[in-house]
Amino acid sequence: MTNEESTGTRLQAIIKHSGQSQIEFSRQIGISQGYLSQMLMDKRDLSGFVLKNLATAFSQYSLKWLLTGEGTMLLEEKAEETTATVEEPRAGYTATGVLLSDLPEIIDRVLTDLGALTSRVEALEAAKG
């Protein structure tokens, strides 16, 4: 997929890849199927609420790709997990070696970056027309 495609088209690709129906998908991210349909047709933007719930319920997908079309649909880390042998994490660390005590700060940074990225996408969409 190219970054020329719309956010709605990329969201549709995620739904298809997840193997869920639109109804199942919309329930998992806490919105109505009608609201999801409007986002798929690019009649509604993805809100912070939707993006946060997508990141939580479908963490294997790249929000950067969804919003901008840059990169790949699947996060590399998640794609690697399917083929790599996962070792038992050390106490106090995640499977990727991140200190558990660092997670709140990391999550805050990701949410800040997500907010900035969402604002940038909104500005670009507003500039387009």
- Encoding tokens for residue 78? 């998640």
Integer-rounded Cα radius of gyration of the chain: 16
Mean pLDDT by 10 residues, the chain (129 residues): 77 94 93 94 92 92 92 73 53 67 79 86 85
* Burial track 81-105 (b if 16+ CB lie within 10 A, e otherwise): eeeeeeeeeeeeeeeeeeeeeeeee
What local confidence, expressed as pLDDT, does residue 11 receive?
95
Domains and CATH numbers, the chain: 7-128 (1.10.260.40)
Q: What pLDDT, on a 0 to 100 scale, did the predictor assign at position 62? A: 92
